[in-house]
Amino acid sequence: MPKTSRSSTITEPGSASAGFGPAIHPGEILREDYLVPLRLTPYALAKRLRVPRTRIERLAAGRTSVTADTALRLARFFGTTPQFWMNMQASHDLAVAAAATKEELEAIRALEQAA
């Protein structure tokens, strides 16, 4: 499988806080880098993973998160690691949270080091 994303997500300039990339949902990566090139439908993947069809449909549409169980199954099927899927979800969640709390976070002063 590809090591780089072919995802076509376009984000607004400055939409991600410093230190976090754009909030690309793991479902978009699943859809664009795996399902489309392999000509797999969410139903076919769900059947192979032995999960409900709606789990993969919602994930591919960006309406649900990657769970540990789903990460284990995707990793097994695609020959990746569970961490690959979980890290993608964590990165997405952090980027979304950082954008949502940007002003509040900027108001927090860092602990100063003792001299």
The CATH number linked to 41 is: 1.10.260.40
Q: Check pLDDT > 70 for residue 67.
A: yes
Taking residues 103-115, what's their average pLDDT? Answer: 86
Number of domains in the chain: 1
Give domain status of residue 20, yes or no.
no
What's the pTM? Answer: 0.78
Give domain status of residue 10, yes or no.
no
Q: Residue 34 has what pLDDT?
A: 99
Closest by CA position to 66, among listed 101, 37, 29, 15: 29
Q: Residue 9 has what pLDDT?
A: 45
* CA quadruple 72, 35, 84, 55: dihedral, nearest 10: -50
φ, ψ of residue 41 in degrees (nearest 5): -90, 160
Tell me which residue range forms the domain holding 67.
26-106
**How is residue 9 annotated by DSSP?**
-
